[in-house]
Structure 1
Amino acid sequence: MATEEPAYEVVREGPVFELRRYQPQVLAETEVQGRFDKVRGKAFGILADYIFGNNQAAEKIAMTAPVTQRPAASDDDQAGTRIEMTAPVTQRPAQTDGDSFIISFVMPERFTLETVPRPNDPRVTHREEPVNDRAYGATRGSG
């Protein structure tokens, strides 16, 4: 069974990558503190628990690609530029102090901010990622 991916247009192609512009997406997010290599599993577990049914509707939500990481805050205008890695994981450049990250799961396209199941865990929040003028890289074949 294929993993659902958000709609995108290919802006540019290279021999082993694509630059993509994604359509708006509803995200489920959680923030974690610490070195990313030490806390990414914790963040993934919090979000996985949410999509496995720990939400007010007790609804299981299909896993989608990509999963994203971004700094929790940054003064740098370029921070937050998403650089996709192999699917389903994407990554944003680390915050300057490098100790606070927001990990996001893209919700299936059928959900809006109004219809996505509300989490039981207050560490999980939702937001809409609007389309913007930035293009994001993806390794060819990564989805």
Structure 2
Amino acid sequence: MILITIVSLFILTLPIQNNSQNNYYDVLRVIEKVEIRKYNTLLYVSYIPIDESDRSNSFRQVADFIFGNNSKNETIAMTSPVVMKTHNNYEMAFIMPNNYTIENLPKPNNDNLNMYEENGVTKACITYSGFSNKSKEKKYIAELKKILKNYNIKYLDDFEVLIYNAPYQLINRKNEITVSVVL
């Protein structure tokens, strides 16, 4: 069973390796370990887990959409990072490739999926390595809050965890914590 799960995750996340959309934000300034970024319009497809036990189902729900379970039966390239919104029961969101808009993106066949745009948001970001877990997420959220407070930068309570690498990548892993800021 464990082998089947590992192989499935490998196959499902293969496209993520070389499809990072690094052109979706501009760095406005750097404060200590924190980047202040202005994001371009981003298009998301997401799944909000019903409860904590449903969180493990999130990736499959959204992956099913990009693998063709949509109104056009179209396969959509998977981009990185995968976004988990800590403020919304760990909603998992995939950023859609730049060639899609809200108008031309196939509609999900699954009523539990959401499609939405996020326009021109400014966020603070702190980066960390290794595998992400609740302990690391809490640590880096606290560090990000402290740096922002030290520089009198107001932030919302919409922290996100960004995961850039497939689960089978063991080294050179990149993760980020972001939060919307008011400058």
Give the Cα separation in 2 of the matches to 1:116 and 1:102.
Answer: 20
1:2 maps to amino acid: N
- 1:4, 1:108 within 8 Å by CA — same for their partners in 2? no
Give percent identity, aligned residues only: 29
Q: TM-score, structure 2 length as denominator?
A: 0.54
Instruction: Work out which of the two has the higher radius of gyration on C-alpha atoms and give 1 or 2.
Output: 2
Q: What displacement does 1:41 show?
A: 2.4
**Which structure has more helix as a fraction of its residues?**
2
1:28 maps to amino acid: V
Q: Secondary structure at the match of 2:123?
A: coil
- 1:51, 1:62 within 8 Å by CA — same for their partners in 2? yes
User: Is it true that 1:3 corresponds to 2:19 in the alignment?
Assistant: yes
User: Is it true that 1:24 corresponds to 2:41 in the alignment?
Assistant: yes
1:66 maps to amino acid: P
Give the Cα separation in 2 of the matches to 1:18 and 1:132.
Answer: 14
Q: What displacement does 1:14 show?
A: 6.7
- Aligned partner of 1:68 in structure 2 is 83
1:41 maps to amino acid: S
- Aligned partner of 1:47 in structure 2 is 62
1:117 maps to amino acid: P
- 2:48, 2:92 within 8 Å by CA — same for their partners in 1? yes
Once the two structures are superposed, residues 100-140 of structure 1 have per-residue CA deviations (whole angstroms, 9 ceiling, x without a partner) of 33211100010000000111111112100111233333348
Q: Secondary structure at the match of 1:48?
A: helix
Identify which of structures 1 and 2 has the higher relative contact order when contacts are C-alpha pairs closer than 8 Å and 6+ apart. Answer: 1
1:111 maps to amino acid: Y
Give the Cα separation in 1 of the matches to 2:61 and 2:40.
Answer: 25
Give the Cα separation in 2 of the matches to 1:27 and 1:46.
Answer: 13
- Aligned partner of 1:122 in structure 2 is 111
- 1:67, 1:103 within 8 Å by CA — same for their partners in 2? yes
Q: Which runs of 5+ in 1 are unaligned?
A: 71-92
Q: Which runs of 5+ in 2 are unaligned?
A: 1-16, 130-171, 176-183
1:137 maps to amino acid: I
Aligned length: 115
- Aligned partner of 2:9 in structure 1 is none
Q: TM-score, structure 1 length as denominator?
A: 0.67
